[in-house]
Amino acid sequence: MKNLKIMHRLLMLVAVAVVGLMVAATVEMLSLRASLMADRQDKTRNLTEAAYTLIQQFAALERSGAMSRDEAQKAAMAAVGSMRYGDNDYFWINDYTPTMVMHPIATHLDGQNLSDFRDPAGTYLFNEFVKVVKAEGAGFVPYEWPKPGFEAPVPKTSYVKGFEPWGWIVGTGIYLDDVDAIFVDRARDSVMVLLAIIAVAGAASFLISRSISRPIGGLTTVMERLTRGDEDIEIAGTDRRDEIGRMARSIQVFRENMIAMKRLEAEQVRQREAAEQE
């Protein structure tokens, strides 16, 4: 480290600061994505709970005798099927076999047993719905599903909850490309800010290092010339009020003393020669 030039030391300091900023930005981005995902999951859970509550209300009508089970289930399917939120997002109902009870968009699935249905990644998603509900009563399941406007299925995670009295599982999900899009936008903004900070810090470090290294380099050259006996040299920076100015004034004093010493020596030689001639 002691052999490095001042400019290189300052640039190393900037490099360390930049690495620290990059680490902090990375941690912030990861935290942001986790926060976005948790927020979406909370929303999805709450929406599924709302649909579940609606089904409970129709089941209560069945228990009271106001509706038969068939009437209550048809009314519940119609009510849940008409529910929308966000960008025309929806709810579906399947049973534990698993057979699709009601899907408001992919109606061709209604009545089909979906135990062999799997996404492009090989996930038997409806079997996973049943597994999660049987194990925990409710939970999240990640998979891939076709999204309107997209040619290929995109990652999605759904929250499903079982309604035991009717053997139903109700659920809804979020497409993760929405979360990724928000994350990418935020990350792009952070990268732009980080690049701006790096540019400013780098430029400032370069200018500061030059303002220090160039005067010191000049004073070093002056000292080298003085040690060779070159007195006819101008010393810059004597009017500065910083440490470099103090160094310059010290060198100026050294130069003046050196000149005075040479004059004294020359005078002594002249006097000695004059004495010898007498």
| pLDDT tens column, 50-103 | 999 999 999 999 999 999 999 999 999 999 999 999 888 899 999 999 999 999
Confidence of residue 1 (pLDDT cuts 50, 70, 90): low
Q: What is the mean pLDDT of residues 7-29?
A: 75
- pLDDT at residue number 4: 62
Whether 186 and 32 have beta carbons less than 8 Å apart is answered as: yes
Percent of the chain beyond pLDDT 70? 96
Tokens of 16: 């360390």
Mean residue pLDDT across the chain? 85
Say if CB 72 and CB 60 are below 8 A apart: no
Mean pLDDT of all residues in 129-156: 90
Q: What pLDDT, on the 0 to 100 scale, is given for residue 7? A: 63
278 confidence band (pLDDT: 50, 70, 90)? low
C-alpha distances in angstroms, 150 versus 105, 121, 141?
A: 15, 17, 21
User: CA 183 to CA 175: how far, in whole Å?
Assistant: 13
Higher pLDDT, 201 or 45: 45
Q: What's the pLDDT score for residue 102?
A: 97
Average pLDDT on 2-12 reads 66
Q: Which of 30-39, 101-110, 113-122, 157-166 shows the lowest mean pLDDT across its residues? A: 30-39
Confidence of residue 187 (pLDDT cuts 50, 70, 90): confident
pLDDT (tens digit per residue) in 224-244: 887 777 777 777 777 777 777
Percent of the chain with pLDDT over 90: 40
Find how far residue 120's CA is from the centre of its chain: 30
Reported as a pLDDT band with limits 50, 70 and 90, residue 5 is: low
Mean pLDDT calculated for residue range 220-225:
79
CA angle 224, 222, 242 (to 5 degrees): 125
Most confident of 4-8, 70-74, 119-123: 70-74
